[in-house]
Amino acid sequence: MGEYEEIFRASVADRERFWLDAAGALDWHRAPSQALDDSRPPFYRWFPDGELNVCHNALDRHCGAGHGSRAALIHDSPVTGVKTTYTYDQLRDEVAVFAGVLRDAGVSAGDRVVIYMPMVPEAAVAMLACARLGAVHSVVFGGFAAKELAVRIDDASPAVVVSASCGIEGSRVIEYKPLLDQAIEMASHKPTCQIILQRRQAEAAMGPTDVDWAQACAAASPADPVTVRSTDPLYVLYTSGTTGKPKGVVRDSGGYATALAWSMTNVYDVGPGQTLFTASDVGWVVGHSYIVYAPLLAGATTVLYEGKPVGTPDAGQFWRVASEYGVRSMFTAPTAFRALKKEDPDGELARQYDLSSLKYLFLAGERLDPETYRWASELLDIPVIDHWWQTETGWPIVANPAGIELLPVKPGSPTKPLPGWDIQVLDGDGKQVPPGTNGAIVAKLPMPPGALPTLWNDDDRFVQSYMSAFDGYYLTGDGGYLDEDGYLFVMGRTDDVINVAGHRLSTGGMEEALAGHPDVAECAVIGVADEMKGQVPRGFVVLKSGVDATRDGYEEQLRQELVQLVRDQVGAVASLKDVAVVAALPKTRSGKILRKSMRSIADGTDEPVPSTIDDASVLEALRPTLRKQ
């Protein structure tokens, strides 16, 4: 039996022991006597009597152990020409002072703080400062528009919002403050104040409830870590569901910290003093887990990179970062590698740097296509590790556990489930399908520590979205199959969630924006395959009767208005560039739009059309439009 098998079996044979041992990697104010509280399924709680502070574990613990002079966080920003290294001592001090600022602003344990920031170290400082106070942060990705931010402010009802005057997207400066002002205007909930980091690329005009980050820090005294229960929320991270209303994924404190610490050693193979470079954004779960919390919990060095894989200024920046900071493991989305491959197909830029420290490349966030896998493997000549997980799970579900042993790779599969995950594939009746057969990928309950205990303020939606399709199982929303050797193949979402350049988006949200146009009677948005971004959305609208799209240039104007609507309401990151005006949308007899059939025609897979279709001629009429790329 290989080491992976042994460890996996240990996690099944004695779950309590396995996770209590893993929790031993942390400092507890009160050590847990029990791993899992399973008294109220499907609401599981980890380390119910444990007490700790996650910020203490991420920072103070290492300083106290004599490692305060080690590099904790490196901000590398080719878009501003800045490179800054924070040691553990320095980061602890900055976080403690900003926690003091939040405390002075009235934030205490359990209060929410919304963070809307670009990739600056202060974003991580703000997150960790919340954790220090036991406050609950909710980071909103900078690429979301004001309306999306407003929806999250209303749901999280934060005491304070932390933001910056601007972000830099390639060569463009994006002003964040006007978006924040609009969002607060739109939201019913009003925070007591906004703390704004002024950046010299575009200083923000300050209003009466705005507080300047630097001035507030100069006036504050540091705050000590506040002990919380293991089961208390560390953060809420909104993610796209099938409707326009995002789901507030709750993350607990002790379970999450335990799972992350375990994964750093056993999956990413990065330990104290070693460097992890995760090229993502703090607004996504990948950024929460593997830019901020996990590397710091492990006493490692994290690189917070403010730039793109290409164009800032070239496709050699990932390699520069890897060589400059002696990166051991690197993690990004396959789409970033497709962008690199397009710019530098022969890998000439990669060869200009010494990449001898780089031991692994981890890819996740979307399906890793075999060609990108091949290109990256040949270019780097190191293990390229596809791994599968979700905002909801907080850490990988299925991964080649590099820190334990490298399993043989089957391209197209992220390999096998990690300890704690009982992954099964079910048919529509909830029965396990034979190996090689497609079905719904589910996790048998309970899930391991780190996975969501519920949705913010919405236990009912938690149960209805994830726990009610199959009793006793968490529905992942992904479809796929397990092969004879227990390797999982993830084939894509079975719902209306799409993945655009590794960004998870809801077609429902885009449909809501399109439907808001006065001339639109009904609409559908589907995700279609895209060579670079994996998927991109395409919109189809039916106009209200009496609206004549053929009149002088109106159709083109309408298309532009619709594209702009989605940009304004969802955000540029939605990348909806293509909207077609059509006569009708194909539906079932009960009136449900056949998005799946539309998608399969657009992608050229032409799956069988359901027998419940109302009028097959509508789909036929749409076929040429769908086929057009």
User: Which positions touch ligand COA (CB under 6 A)?
Assistant: 118, 142-143, 167, 169, 174, 280-281, 284, 286, 308-310, 333, 335-336, 339, 365, 501-503, 572-573, 575
Among ligand COA, ligand AMP, none, the one that 414 touches (CB under a kind-dependent 5 to 8 A) is ligand AMP
Phi, psi dihedrals of residue 100, rounded to the nearest 5°: -60, -40
Kindly state the smallest distance separating residue 54's Cβ from ligand COA, in Å.
Answer: 22
Nearest-10 Cα torsion for 351, 348, 409, 386: 100
Q: How many angstroms separate the CA atoms of 296 and 475, rounded? A: 31
If contact means CB under 5 to 8 A according to the sort of partner, which of ligand COA, ligand AMP, none does residue 534 touch?
none
| 499 interacts with ligand AMP by CB under 6 A | yes
Site membership for ligand AMP, residue 365 (CB under 6 A): yes
Residue placing its CB nearer to ligand COA in the complex, 48 or 283: 283
Give the one entry of ligand COA, ligand AMP, none that residue 384 binds, where binding means its C-beta sits below a cut-off of 5 to 8 angstroms depending on kind.
none
Contact present, 507 and 525 (Cβ < 8 Å): yes
Residue 335 binds which one of ligand COA, ligand AMP, none, with CB within 5 to 8 A depending on kind? ligand COA
User: What's the min distance (Å) between Cβ of 397 and ligand AMP?
Assistant: 9
- Using the CB atoms, write b or e for 297-318: b if 16+ within 10 Å: bbbbbbbbbbbbbbebeebbbb
The listed partner (ligand COA, ligand AMP, none) that binds 573, CB under 5 to 8 Å by sort, is ligand COA
Give 155 or 306: the residue with its C-beta nearer to ligand COA.
306
Q: Does 574 participate in binding ligand AMP (rule CB under 6 A)?
A: no
Q: Closest separation between CB of residue 380 and ligand COA, Å?
A: 18
Q: What amino acid is encoded at 612 in this protein?
A: T
**CA-to-CA dists, residue 214 to 59, 87, 101, 196, 380, angstroms:** 22, 20, 10, 9, 42
388 binds ligand AMP (CB under 6 A): yes
Question: Running DSSP on this structure, what letter comes out for residue 268?
Answer: S
Regarding 416 and contact with ligand AMP (CB under 6 A), the answer is no
- Rounded to a whole number of angstroms, the minimum distance from the CB of residue 238 to ligand AMP is 11
# binding residues, ligand AMP (CB under 6 A): 21
Per-residue contact track with ligand AMP, 254 to 293, x per CB under 6 A?
------------------------------xx--------
Q: 423-426 and 439-444: which strand pairing?
A: antiparallel
C-alpha to C-alpha distance for 341 and 24, rounded to whole angstroms: 42
Of 627, 629, 626, 593, nearest to 612 by C-alpha is 593
**CB of 506: closest distance to ligand COA in angstroms?**
15
Stretch of residues binding ligand AMP (CB under 6 A), selected from 55-63, 87-95, 314-322, 386-394: 386-394
**Applying CB under 6 A, which of residues 167, 244, 248, 477 lies at the interface with ligand AMP?**
477
Contact of residue 390 among ligand COA, ligand AMP, none (CB under 5-8 Å per partner type):
ligand AMP
Pick what 513 binds: ligand AMP, ligand COA, none; C-beta below 5 to 8 Å, kind-dependent. Answer: none
Strand ranges for 240-340 from DSSP E: 247-252, 275-278, 301-305, 327-332
Q: Which of 5-13, 36-44, 139-147, 382-390 is the region at the interface with ligand AMP (rule: CB under 6 A)?
A: 382-390
The angle, 0 to 180 degrees and rounded to 10, between the axes of the packed helices 15-23 and 3-13 is 110
DSSP helix/strand/coil, 163: strand
439-444 β-sheet, strand order: 423-426, 439-444, 473-482, 488-493
Among 90, 138, 317, 390, binds ligand AMP (CB under 6 A): 390
Length of the chain: 629
Name the amino acid, one letter, at 38: D
Neighbours of 1 (CB within 10 A): 7
Strand, helix or coil for residue 473: strand
CB of 307 to ligand COA, least distance (A): 9
Q: How far is the CB of 280 from ligand COA (least distance, A)?
A: 4
If the CB atoms of residues 231 and 280 are measured against ligand AMP, the closer one turns out to be 280
Q: Is 367 in the site for ligand AMP (CB under 6 A)?
A: yes
What minimum distance in Å lies between the beta carbon of 70 and ligand COA? Answer: 26
Rounded Cα distance, 62 and 49, in Å: 24
Is there binding between residue 29 and ligand AMP (CB under 6 A)?
no
Could you say which of ligand COA, ligand AMP, none residue 253 binds, taking C-beta under 5 to 8 angstroms by partner kind?
Answer: none
Determine, following the binding rule CB under 6 A, whether residue 482 of this chain makes contact with ligand AMP. no
Min dist CB 240 to ligand COA, Å, is 13
**Residue 295 interacts with ligand AMP (CB under 6 A)?**
no
Residue 451 touching ligand AMP (CB under 6 A): no
Long-range contacts from 550-555, C-beta under 8 angstroms, 24+ separation: 555/581
Residue 281 touches which member of ligand AMP, ligand COA, none, C-beta under 5-8 Å by kind: ligand COA
**Cα–Cα distance, 74 to 478 (Å, whole number):** 35
Q: Tell me which residue has tokens 């005009």.
A: 205
| Residue 280's binding partner out of ligand COA, ligand AMP, none, with CB under 5 to 8 Å set by partner kind | ligand COA
Q: Find the binder of ligand AMP among 60, 111, 281, 366 (CB under 6 A).
A: 366
User: Helix (H) and strand (E) counts for the chain?
Assistant: 20, 29
Least distance to ligand COA from the beta carbon of 360, Å? Answer: 16
Q: How far apart are CA 206 and CA 213, in angstroms?
A: 11
Nearest residue (CB) to ligand AMP, 182 versus 243 = 243
Q: Taking CB within 5 to 8 Å according to partner kind, which of ligand AMP, ligand COA, none is near residue 339?
A: ligand COA
Q: Among 45, 308, 504, 538, which residue sits at the site for ligand AMP (rule: CB under 6 A)?
A: 504
Q: For residues 48 and 125, what is the distance between their CA atoms, to the nearest angstrom?
A: 28
Question: Which lies closer to ligand COA via its Cβ, residue 543 or residue 573?
Answer: 573
Q: What is the DSSP string of 191-247?
A: -SEEEEE--TTSPPPP-TTEEEHHHHHHH--------EETTSEEEEEEE--SSSS-E
As measured in angstroms, the least distance from the Cβ of 451 to ligand AMP is 12
Tell me which residue of 507, 490, 498 sits closest to 533, measured CA to CA.
498
Out of 77, 87, 165, 239, the residue judged to bind ligand AMP by CB under 6 A: 239
Strand, helix or coil for residue 71: strand
d(CA 227, CA 223): 12
- Binding interface with ligand AMP (CB under 6 A): 239, 284-285, 364-368, 386-391, 414, 477-478, 490, 493, 499, 504
